[in-house]
Amino acid sequence: MMFMSGQMEHYLFHRGEYRQAYEYFGAHPNRSSTIFRIWAPAAKSVAVVGDFNNWNAREEDYCQKITNEGIWEVEIKKVKKGAIYKFQIETSWGQKILKADPYAFYSELRPQTASVVNGIPKFRWGDKKWLNNREIGYAKPINIYEVHLSSWKKKEDGTYYNYREIAELLVEYMLEMNYTHIEIMPITEYPFDGSWGYQATGYYSVTSRYGTPEDFMYFVNYFHKNNLGVILDWVPGHFCKDAHGLYRFDGSACYEYEDQNLGENEWGTANFNVSRNEVRSFLVSNLYFWIKEFHIDGVRMDAISNMIYHKDGVSENRASIEFLQYLNQSLHENHPDIMLVAEDSSAWPLVTKYQADGGLGFDFKWNMGWMNDTLKYIEQDPFFRRSHHGKLTFSFMYAFSENFILPLSHDEIVHGKNAILNKMPGYYEDKLAHVKNLYSYQMAHPGKKLNFMGNEFVQGLEWRYYEQLEWQLLKDNKGSKDIQNYVKALNTLYLEEKALWHDGQNAFEWIEHENIDENMLIFLRKDPDTDDFIIAVFNFSGKDQDKYPVGVNLEGEYECILDSNEKRFGGSYQGRKRNYKTIKSAWHNREQYIEVKIAKNSTIFLKHKKGNEED
């Protein structure tokens, strides 16, 4: 089939298969003019208004309808980069409404709502080495630091750091703390700070709160040059209903469902109608845009359960399921090194399995069940934990059914749920010990890791999006500094020990999981390629154990390589690293055992000392 200029774009767009729609739609400036294109199928007329025509459409500002399916186009002379504009859309009943450009590459700073002529952003990249070596990393360390840019740190006068400025601060901190990836809460343009970016209006427009698109390119480039990955929060399921946005874009249900039972949700936003091909092209192209133009390493897709189920939470939304399968398969075919993560709170099976097998095709899934059960357990006083032991061990029943990320995310420290520290029982010193146990359990448990900013030094208050983190605690509060030091040590352990990177069933082995009365838990993590292993021993009780027996596979000597009760982490133990020799007697179905010393509410990590096996 032969196509004239533009016909291929129209054909693919209306089939839902256009992966670079942003290269055609939106505002594209050249030396002397700008070409504007938009999809508005129910519009009676479309014009472009802005600062170049005093927001009053002239005859030459009206678009021509170039396809029956509703694509409009106009080239306006002397409109250059930096011009401010909106589309003036006349509805079928004659009302004229002003809408921001869905494909705008830049937008005015809120509370202003107009789009800015920018063109596809350009940048001189220096991350070729990173991109050439990038891979998803199922058997690699992935330890994610989740960040909300405006509340991580602010300038002394309370204003935001630019993307370039905060990149350098974040990279320095993350390298010091030994994280591997940053996950940024949504930065697609959004009007209301209190939505945290999850209710967007400009899907192709990086928010102007922190600078220009080119500034954000610098951000990503700087991270890559320091061997750190960048993951974006992305919201493919729903969008906000602000008047200038996508909602009722041409007076009709253009991007959303006409049926409000399908189109409206509990957050007061509108659900994307992904059964409509043009909406599919919009979203697929958007994901390609962030990957191709901004070199993003992965996306965490928000609220997947809201997409795959209807309002009743029972009946499946087949259109959304098929869309996600198509989206993920397309990305994997063209960008096999990009990490696709589902935030799914449902029990939908096969989220991280191949589409051919009925799966959704994601690479990883947030393990919300692990997060909820673990927090419910750790919040109990040790005296009562024996009745909740199953909450700690149940996750292992399904731990290998998907490729999981274990999140301790922003959702758990807002809306009255308490900061991590204040979820813990007991006095202040007890709370600190419980936090270290929680983080140790997360690090040892199969699955990649994610922790929200501020958790690493136990910020005392819930997260507040309008204020920076309580950094002063690191100067004024020894407990916060102790926890930060322990998180740094845990992150270092994770980077150094390959046994903690492999998350399949062949990399895990129970040693003890039924000691309910003493709240003890012991398991082994191993590297299947080398048989190297680490034993994690957890004491979730309020009782010290002086000679606790641990069955081991190999005889010889075992070294305690990390103890959460060490003095440098605010604990009581300040002696040398302890070594334990095996005792030739069966225990835990093993031929020998060691007797370990472990304080109440603490964790120790043990490693076999090679070359010391007995003859």
Residue 1's pLDDT is 31
Percent of the chain with pLDDT over 90: 90
Residue 221: what residue type?
N
Residues 602 and 436: their CA atoms lie apart, in Å, by: 7
- Reported confidence tier of residue 347, pLDDT bands at 50, 70, 90: confident
Residue 39 vs residues 26, 49, 251, 257, 327: alpha-carbon distances, Å: 9, 16, 13, 16, 21
Mean pLDDT within 482-494: 98
Where is 603: in which H helix or E strand?
Answer: strand 602-608
Is pLDDT of 3 > 50? no
* Mean pLDDT, residues 236-245: 95
Q: Which amino acid is at 431?
A: K
- Count of Cβ atoms closer than 10 Å to residue 582 Cβ: 24
The pLDDT assigned to 436 comes to 98
Please list the active-site residues: 302, 343
Indicate if the pLDDT at residue 33 is higher than 80: yes
Q: Tell me the CA distances in angstroms from 266 to 201, 271, 371, one per residue in order.
A: 18, 10, 23
**What is the reported pLDDT for 267?**
85
Asked if residues 605 and 536 have their Cβ atoms less than 8 Å apart, the reply is: yes
CB within 8 Å of 214: residues ≥ 6 apart: 121, 122, 123
Indicate whether 310 pLDDT > 80.
yes
Q: For residue 81, which of 106, 100, 57 has the smallest C-alpha distance?
A: 106
In one-letter notation, the amino acid at residue 275 is: S
Q: What are the DSSP calls for 175-235, one per residue?
A: HHHT--EEEEPP-EE-S-GGGTTSS-SEEEEE-GGG--HHHHHHHHHHHHHTT-EEEEEE-
Q: Mean of the pLDDT values across residues 380-392?
A: 95
Grouping H, G, I as helix, E, B as strand and the rest as coil, residue 411 is helix
In this predicted structure, what is the pLDDT of residue 573?
Answer: 86
- CA nearest neighbour of 25 among 71, 70, 80, 88: 71
pLDDT tens string 147-200:
999 999 999 999 999 999 999 999 999 999 999 999 999 999 999 999 999 999
Provide the pLDDT confidence category of residue 2 given band limits of 50, 70 and 90.
very low
314 has pLDDT over 80 = no
Nearest to 419 by CA among 370, 452, 380: 452
| Nearest alpha-carbon partner for 607 in 530, 528, 541, 526 | 526
C-alpha dihedral, 294 to 215 to 126 to 234, nearest 10°: -20
How far apart (Å, rounded) are the C-alpha atoms in residues 14 and 557? 67
What confidence tens digit (pLDDT) does each residue in 325-334 have?
A: 999 999 999 9
Which residue segments constitute the domains of the chain, with CATH numbers given?
7-116 (2.60.40.10), 505-608 (2.60.40.1180)
Contact between residue 405 and residue 458 where contact means Cβ atoms under 8 Å apart: no
Report which of 174, 179, 283, 296 is spatially closest to residue 235, judged by C-alpha positions. Answer: 283
Over residues 540-550, the pLDDT tens digits come to 999 999 999 99
Residues 6+ apart with CB under 8 A from 24: 6, 9, 13, 18, 37
Predicted confidence (pLDDT) at residue 340 exceeds the cutoff of 50: yes
In sequence order, the β-bridge partners of residue 366 are 405
Position 312 scores a pLDDT of 75
| Radius of gyration in angstroms for the set of CA atoms belonging to the chain, rounded to a whole number | 27
Task: List C-alpha distances in Å: 364 to 38, 98, 222, 339.
Answer: 35, 40, 25, 8
Res. 74: pLDDT tops 70: yes
Phi, psi values for residue 275, rounded to 5°: -80, -10
Q: Is 84 helix (H, G, I), strand (E, B) or coil?
A: strand
Name the token pair of 459.
Answer: 């910020």
Distance CA 203, CA 206 (A): 8
Q: Is 548 helix (H, G, I), strand (E, B) or coil?
A: strand
Conformation bin of residue 26: beta by default, left when phi > 0, alpha when psi is -120 to 50: left
Q: Residue 613's pLDDT is what? A: 58
> Checking DSSP bridges between strand 64-65 and strand 71-77, what pairing results, if any?
antiparallel
d(CA 611, CA 615): 11
> Looking up tokens 């990883």, which residue turns up?
364
Task: Give the type of residue at 534.
Answer: I
Taking residues 456-481, report their average pLDDT: 96
Both tokens of 11, joined, read 């054909």
| Mean pLDDT (the chain, rounded) | 94
- From residue 416, alpha-carbon distances to 428, 462, 481 in Å are 20, 8, 25
